[in-house]
Amino acid sequence: MFSYRHGFHAGNHADVLKHTVLIAALQHMAQKETAISVIDTHAGAGLYRLDGDFANTSGESKDGIARLLDTPEEELTPALRAYVQAVRSVNQGKGVKTYPGSPFITQSLLRPQDKLRLFELHPADWRALDGNMSQLDAGKQVEVLLEDGFNGVKRFLPPPSRRGFLLCDPSYEMKTDYGRVISMMDDALVRFSTGTYAVWYPIIPRQDAHDLPKRLKTMANKAGKSWLHATLTVKSSKLRSEVNDYGDTGAAKRPGLPASGMFLINPPFTLRAALKEALPQMQKLLAQDKNATHTLEFGE
């Protein structure tokens, strides 16, 4: 079964894509004074130790955020530089041992008038999230909810200010998540047609994953909404055989997550240019084999 509990994959290439997009979008939206309501449907624990048990199990951050941290900031594109600075901001000194998930990244970008609502259904992650966010002393600005985010968002749409950003990045461990994303987005566009919606998804050999961005594109076009679709591939998804110390070939194994995508409806108009510049650098810095690539599509 495909597993994507946040803690095991903190700081990997998918987080680089997702959080770079998140920061670029929110920075643009914050240029207007009107309050922004931000909703995170699958918030996770909020903070992750890169030297902890979960992250060490996969070691994926070494091929993700660590590669960017090894690159001089002045050589990074503005979007990637902002992302690296957000990660460094939760760490003291030169080293980076803690990775901020989307709740901490988002909260760091909030202004006094903005609101953040975090949904998390996993009991252990919810307790960790609640404890981690309480450190920020954000008061009523941040609300941590032990609820199913797919359903919970309904009562917060539309927000009073009529300006909102929703991030949806479920684990997709259950095949029904793909359909629930579509149902939630369809309902959200009826309730709040001008909101900015961002959906992260894994690019894996599964028909549901292949169809998700197509269905979102069809939905956006039918609603007459602009959209943006960015993908990052860092390696081949083909099965590979491992050779032991004796030269024996073992059973074929599929590598970890090879690629992921971000699909946005009503994206900030500046995001396309930011990603057009950042994606080639992501591909170059995060490539794990010759199959690394990226795509950027958009519709008006």
Q: What is the pLDDT of residues 88-147, one digit of tens each?
A: 999 987 789 999 999 999 999 999 999 999 999 999 999 999 999 998 887 889 999 999
Pick among 3.40.50.150, 3.40.50.300, 3.40.50.720, 2.60.120.10: CATH of 6-207: 3.40.50.150
Confirm or deny that 42 is annotated as ligand binding.
Answer: yes
Residue 193 predicted with pLDDT over 60: yes
pLDDT of residue 2: 40
pLDDT of residue 40: 98
What is the pLDDT of the chain when averaged over all its residues?
Answer: 91
pTM listed for this prediction: 0.92
**Which tokens go with 54?**
């979960």
What band does 1 get if pLDDT is binned at 50, 70 and 90? very low
- Cα–Cα distance, 160 to 178 (Å, whole number): 29
- Cα–Cα distance, 69 to 196 (Å, whole number): 29
pLDDT of residue 238: 80
Residue 3 predicted with pLDDT over 80: no
- Cα–Cα distance, 249 to 231 (Å, whole number): 33
Confirm or deny that 102 is annotated as ligand binding.
Answer: yes
Beta strands in the chain (DSSP E): 37-40, 47-49, 98-100, 115-119, 142-145, 164-168, 196-203, 227-233, 240-243, 249-253, 259-265, 293-299
pLDDT of residue 7: 62
Confirm or deny that 149 is annotated as ligand binding.
Answer: yes
What band does 194 get if pLDDT is binned at 50, 70 and 90? very high
Confirm or deny that 169 is annotated as ligand binding.
Answer: yes
- Cα–Cα distance, 82 to 2 (Å, whole number): 30
Mark whether 177 is an active-site residue: no
pLDDT of residue 93: 75
**Residue 77 identity:** T
Q: Catalytic one among 40, 125, 169, 177?
A: 169
pLDDT of residue 70: 94
Confirm or deny that 28 is annotated as ligand binding.
Answer: no
Confirm or deny that 148 is annotated as ligand binding.
Answer: yes
pLDDT digits (tens, 9 = 90+) for 47-63: 999 986 554 445 899 99
- Domain positions in the chain are 6-207
